[in-house]
Amino acid sequence: LEKFRRVAGLTQQELADKAGVDVTIISKLETHGGRRRASYDNMIRLARALNLDPEELAPVDERRVERSA
- pTM greater than the 0.85 cutoff: no
Q: What is the DSSP string of 37-67?
A: ---HHHHHHHHHHTT--HHHHS-GGGS----
| pLDDT (0 to 100) of residue 67 | 42
pLDDT at residue number 55: 86
Per-residue DSSP letter, 21? S
Q: Quick check: 68 pLDDT over 60?
A: no
Confidence (pLDDT) at 57? 82
Give per-residue pLDDT as tens, 5-63. 999 999 999 999 999 999 999 999 998 766 667 888 999 999 999 999 988 887 654 44
